[in-house]
Structure 1
């Protein structure tokens, strides 16, 4: 069997997988230290090198440092978070209300990654059948930035409990631009060993061997060596 020689060195692979496994959604551990321009530039370049369908590159990046702007975003969050809490009852509601779900003011920097839904014109290569590939592509830019940030020792927290119309107004976005990800960013006191929601007992990580199907939905890998390996190395 011929093995490609395009793979990374063992040290490089360890670094990549470490960033993947140790990436966290940070809310509580932010330090006030600023992110240097050269570091932020590297993170934005990493995001900008994400793959995109039809090479449309639909993302833009809004760097938000103003305390006034962030205070307005925080007020939006608190309004939406109150609504979200009302969806739960009893112990679940109490546990939800005890979670810290944003670091808007604690982090030294906020970043909104947007998706320009008109970029590339009306006919983008590869977008004919699945219109939302622009949104999917922008999510890849978010992930690129998140992994690069972990490698730099910078925490990132995605604030999803926001009304998108209100956020668009606050950030003066054009009608065709969607605020896909509102991120809090900064150096942290620590990266937790496990995702915070897992540590707090909100959800547990699903078992991978139960999520892998063979040739179609619901078909088990059966005696496949892959299944055995997944079960032994969970």
Structure 2
């Protein structure tokens, strides 16, 4: 990383750790078409769920739940919901892009090792308005933070994740018996993959491109001009950091790591971690569910 991105003091990470954080961010992909039939170990899945469970949440409300979906028949039903929703969405796509839309691979519901539906319990912090009095949707945003934690941890473990957003929420709630006061936030396809694509699929297929960051930086007010030095620095770092992260990723073989069985002294052993009660409970239950999850673009 360039010197400008290093922490000059305090308890910042060492250089290798910082590089790893940025690599996970810049090489994370929404996976749809590279899933392997390899099962996902409960130890790894539990670690990903622990990462999600330690996401920031407004008012420390922790509104999330994680429905693990393994059953092939149930996942096929979810895929049927996706196919129906895709046909409903198609007319909203401009006519000249409909052919491309039909060709895009937008889900891996049945191909992935398992699915996970991450939900938001909107009554979990009932009676505690901290952080929600003026912004009641903060529980939804907090749950999205859990999704991002899960996704980045998965990338670090060599696990692919695809977020399926083309699903009608009420139909999904009925299929997964989700209560009325609980909102499904993300339906994720999760599993080992043969590769992580060098670019997002939608960029590769010409659906869109990443917007230049300097064009999105404003000064003082929305649309405010200024911050020329910051914009110049952002533009310079973009090429350096992204290229470095992707180059490092290409030097690494497809990730299906051979993990040593954890022992009592291992950093990967749940017994050696100082978890709080909620985390320990989550770790003991991870991977034991019988429900799948969703996929996104």
Name the TM-score class by shorter chain: over 0.9
- Matched with 1:119 is 124
Match in the other structure for 1:150: 155
SS at match of 2:92: coil
Structure 1 segments, 4+ long, off by >4 Å, are: none
Could you say if the C-alpha distance between residues 87 and 153 of structure 1 is closer, same or farther in structure 2, counting changes exceeding 3 Å? same
Instruction: Say how many residue pairs are matched.
Output: 232
Q: What corresponds to 1:214 in structure 2?
A: 219
Distance 1:124 1:144 in 2: 24
Consecutive unaligned residues in structure 1, runs of 5 or more:
none
After TM superposition, give the deviation of residue 211 of structure 1 in Å. Answer: 0.3
Q: Which runs of 5+ in 2 are unaligned?
A: 1-6, 239-297
CA offset at residue 69 of structure 1? 0.8
1:70 aligns with 2:67: no
Deviations 1:146-202 (A, max 9, x none): 000000000000000001001001111111111110000011111011110000000
CA distance in 2, matches of 1:154, 1:170: 26
1:121-140 Cα distance to aligned partner (Å, 9 max, x none): 13331110001000000000
Matched, 1:133 2:156: no
TM-score (norm 1): 0.96
1:27 matches 2:32: yes
Q: How does 1:39-54 map to 2 (within 5 A)?
A: 39-54=44-59
2:209 aligned to 190, 193, 204, which one?
204
- TM-score normalised by L of structure 2: 0.76
- Pairing 1:161–2:166 present: yes
**Residue 110 in 1 paired to residue 100 in 2?**
no
The equivalent position to 1:190 in structure 2, one of 190, 195, 213, is 195
Q: Which moved more, 1:118-127 or 1:48-57?
A: 118-127
The alignment's C-alpha RMSD in Å is 1.3
Q: Give yes or no for contact 1:31–1:186 (8 Å, CA) kept in 2.
A: yes
Kept after mapping to 1: 8 A contact 2:55/2:149: yes
Q: Is the 8 A contact 1:56 1:124 kept in 2?
A: no
SS at 1:233 equivalent: helix
Identify which of 229, 232, 237 aligns with 1:233: 237
The SS at the match of 1:17 is helix
Greater alpha carbon shift after TM alignment, 181-190 vs 79-88? 79-88
1:174 to 176, 179, 200: 179
Which is further off, 74-83 or 87-96?
87-96
